[in-house]
């Protein structure tokens, strides 16, 4: 029951959230849809430059598709869990509640991505790694320093979802505990001494990254406590790490399925991969479809090659959803006690095809010239903006810096009682929230490459 906690973070009200035809988790979905952070994803690159073609996916369309797959996975797992745990059904839970939780968490899974995606994350990390003197000259703990040198979009996402605007109520979007826990694929902080972790025989996928900065440490602790996440640190440790919420595995699987397959589709639309190769990659999924014979009759009648790829992609997603559900069910007991900690798509029958053969094709696409150019440009843009705004934050009395700070929203300007960690976080926060186009145009203007147009 605690794992499905529908209470809201930083919101003590009870009873108001129940409405016929609309669950608390559906409200979460709607709050995410109407948030500015989600809206900015329309101008954040998924793989290929967004302005280059209206055919390709942005982070926004990708997130919507992941949410769609996540909802189906959640509904199907919900059926299984309610059969396994009849007390939940008698308490009023339905399969759709599980789908609603996974759909909302999936919708938000990329909301913390900085401009230019992983290249943006790398640029932020590299900026601080290249300025190691900051660690010595500023009063930062090892964990605070790791928040920057291992900068993580997942942690920024949790910050955006829970961090209140100065003019709003605390708790950010005030999402439910269940959705926030499901959102967290990496429920730990950025630095944990090995002696503070429980010895565990499983190599944990959830330990690859981290899901909250020190600024949201208390918030995440609250989420973990309210949903009953299993702790992974030794007794009396001051480090924080937990096992994943069981439904977080479904968010990860939905993401893996979508970007592996849909990147191929985008590659075809832009002419980087020919039809025959993609058909060869996706046809094995078609052959596993329950309605294979009928599906092939329909497939042969489709003349447009792009539509053929779309049909193959749809069949592949259907097959993969069923395989993921089977793996989750087979490992349900271990998932519930925190013993299981692998990507579900690593254990499906189609693993070799999805995570080896198709992954290899994905990597070829990621090395296409426009993708590499975006990575390089994005890296330089983010690094340049950090240099400009860090100088302004720490030397606000310089004439130009004073003017620069006057243009900043007040929430990103250092307050007199801010620690060095908070000052730096405000700068990173401002830049990480930008869309690709805004970051590019701002950098051009501030570096003198392009003058603003007046009038």
Q: Where are the domains of the chain?
A: 252-365, 370-446
**Per-residue model confidence as pLDDT tens digits over 291-309:** 999 999 999 999 999 999 9
- The answer on pLDDT for 405 being more than 70 is yes
Kindly state the percentage of the chain with pLDDT values over 70.
Answer: 94
pLDDT at 22: 82
46-60, 72-86, 345-359, 381-395: least confident range: 46-60
Q: Which two tokens stand for residue 152?
A: 């993580």
**Per-residue model confidence as pLDDT tens digits over 235-294:** 989 999 999 999 999 999 999 999 999 999 989 988 899 999 999 999 999 999 999 999
- The answer on pLDDT for 455 being more than 90 is no
- The answer on pLDDT for 325 being more than 80 is yes
pLDDT at 447: 86
- The answer on pLDDT for 201 being more than 70 is no
What is the rounded distance in angstroms from the CA atom of residue 168 to the CA atom of residue 34?
Answer: 15
pLDDT at 393: 93
- Mean pLDDT computed over 424-434: 96
The whole-chain average pLDDT of the chain stands at 91
- The answer on pLDDT for 28 being more than 90 is yes
pLDDT at 163: 87
pLDDT at 345: 97
65-79, 114-128, 194-208, 316-330: least confident range: 194-208
**Per-residue model confidence as pLDDT tens digits over 158-180:** 999 998 766 666 788 999 999 99
- Mean pLDDT computed over 360-375: 88
- The answer on pLDDT for 156 being more than 60 is yes
Q: pTM of whole model > 0.75?
A: yes
- Mean pLDDT computed over 210-215: 96
- The answer on pLDDT for 351 being more than 80 is yes
**Residue 349: pLDDT band with limits 50, 70, 90:** very high
- The answer on pLDDT for 60 being more than 90 is yes
pLDDT at 44: 84
Match domain 252-365 to its CATH number in 1.10.3410.10, 2.40.50.100, 1.10.1740.10, 1.10.287.130: 1.10.3410.10
**Per-residue model confidence as pLDDT tens digits over 354-365:** 999 999 999 998
**Per-residue model confidence as pLDDT tens digits over 90-112:** 888 899 999 999 999 999 999 99
């Amino acid at each position: 029951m605690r794992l499905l906690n529908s209470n809201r973070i930083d919101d003590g009200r009870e009873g108001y959230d129940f409405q016929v035809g609309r669950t608390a988790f559906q409200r979460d979905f709607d709050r995410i849809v109407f948030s500015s952070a989600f809206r900015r994803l329309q101008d954040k690159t998924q793989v290929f430059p967004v302005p280059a073609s209206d055919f390709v996916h942005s982070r926004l369309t990708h997130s919507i598709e992941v949410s769609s797959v996540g909802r189906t996975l959640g509904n199907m797992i919900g059926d299984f869990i309610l059969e396994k745990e009849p007390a939940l059904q008698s308490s009023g839970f339905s399969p759709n509640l599980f789908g609603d939780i996974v759909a909302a968490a999936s919708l938000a899974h990329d909301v913390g991505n900085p401009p230019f995606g992983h290249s943006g994350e790398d640029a932020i990390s590299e900026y601080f790694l290249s300025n190691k003197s900051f660690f010595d000259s500023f009063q930062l703990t090892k964990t605070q320093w790791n928040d920057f040198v291992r900068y993580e979009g997942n942690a920024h996402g949790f910050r955006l979802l829970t961090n209140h605007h100065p003019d709003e109520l605390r708790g950010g979007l005030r999402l439910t505990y269940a959705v926030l826990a499901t959102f967290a694929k990496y429920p730990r902080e950025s630095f944990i001494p090995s002696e503070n972790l429980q010895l565990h025989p499983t190599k944990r996928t959830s330990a690859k990254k981290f899901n909250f900065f020190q600024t949201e440490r208390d918030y995440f602790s609250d989420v973990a406590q309210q949903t009953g996440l299993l702790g992974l640190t030794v007794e009396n440790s001051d480090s924080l790490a937990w096992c994943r919420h069981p439904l977080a595995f479904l968010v990860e699987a939905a993401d893996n399925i979508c970007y592996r397959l849909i990147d191929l589709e985008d590659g075809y639309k832009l002419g980087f991969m020919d039809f025959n190769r993609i058909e060869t990659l996706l046809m094995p999924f078609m052959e596993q479809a329950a309605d294979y014979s009928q599906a092939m009759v329909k497939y042969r009648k489709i003349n447009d090659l792009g539509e053929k790829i779309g049909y193959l992609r749809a069949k592949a997603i259907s097959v993969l959803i069923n395989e993921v559900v089977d793996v989750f069910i087979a490992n349900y007991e271990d998932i519930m006690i925190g013993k299981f900690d692998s990507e579900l798509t690593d254990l499906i029958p189609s693993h070799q095809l999805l995570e080896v053969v198709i992954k290899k094709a994905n990597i070829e696409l990621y090395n296409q010239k426009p993708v590499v150019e975006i990575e390089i440009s994005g890296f330089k843009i983010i690094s340049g903006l950090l240099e400009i705004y860090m100088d302004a934050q720490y030397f606000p009395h310089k004439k130009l810096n004073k003017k620069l700070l006057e243009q900043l929203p007040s929430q990103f300007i250092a307050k007199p009682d801010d620690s060095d960690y908070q000052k730096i976080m405000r700068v990173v926060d401002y830049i990480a929230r930008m869309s690709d186009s805004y970051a590019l145009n701002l950098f051009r203007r501030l570096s003198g490459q392009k003058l603003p147009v007046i009038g």
